[in-house]
Amino acid sequence: MLAVIDYDAGNVKSVVKAFRALGQETVLTRDPEVILKADHVVLPGVGSFGACMERLERYGLVPVIRRVIEEGTPFLGICVGLQLLFEGSEESPGVRGLGIFKGKCVRFSDKSGMKVPQIGWNSLKIAPESRLFGGVSDGAFVYFVHSYYAKPEEAVETASCEYADTACAAAERGNVFATQFHPEKSGAVGLQLLRNFTLMKKEA
């Protein structure tokens, strides 16, 4: 069973629909017991970093997420769900993230003259060792909607994109995976990533 965490942080119907299209038993829940029993857990996110963290804390989900990750359950963060895995963000000064990965999130540079947020399709530079991107070719196009991106301070970045800056597009370490883009809106490439995630096994 796959649990998509429901914490009022955007429309998650497309995420649930994508996993179900892959034949995955999927539930949308904020029930800690259900989340802890799941074989895979997904943290989506739309909106501001601070508002998303506030909702996770309000529903008592921060310790649940930490326990899921500590127990080795495959975990996937999507969009702001990726950003929350880091220590903080310029978008919400003073708000602490989950701190699973070292580093903070920053806003795209305005000096480039490019419109912020980045909305639309962009190509990826993919690290060949990534497990999440198995079967996906370097240069594949995926769909983004974001103004901020993570700057990892450790070797967890597995894909990047070029927009106003060179930005982290995906990260992974152990049982934790994350994408800044929306795989559920990225056609066949996105479905391949989600399929790869469902095949991940719990780590001892």
Catalytic residues: 79, 182, 184
| Nearest-angstrom CA–CA distance, 159 and 181 | 11
| Nearest-angstrom CA–CA distance, 62 and 57 | 6
**Distance of alpha carbon 170 from the chain centroid:** 8
| Nearest-angstrom CA–CA distance, 126 and 138 | 5
Structure-token pair, residue 136: 């996906």
| Nearest-angstrom CA–CA distance, 128 and 104 | 24
Residue type, 107: R
| Nearest-angstrom CA–CA distance, 59 and 128 | 38
Helix axes 62-70, 49-58, angle to 10 degrees: 90
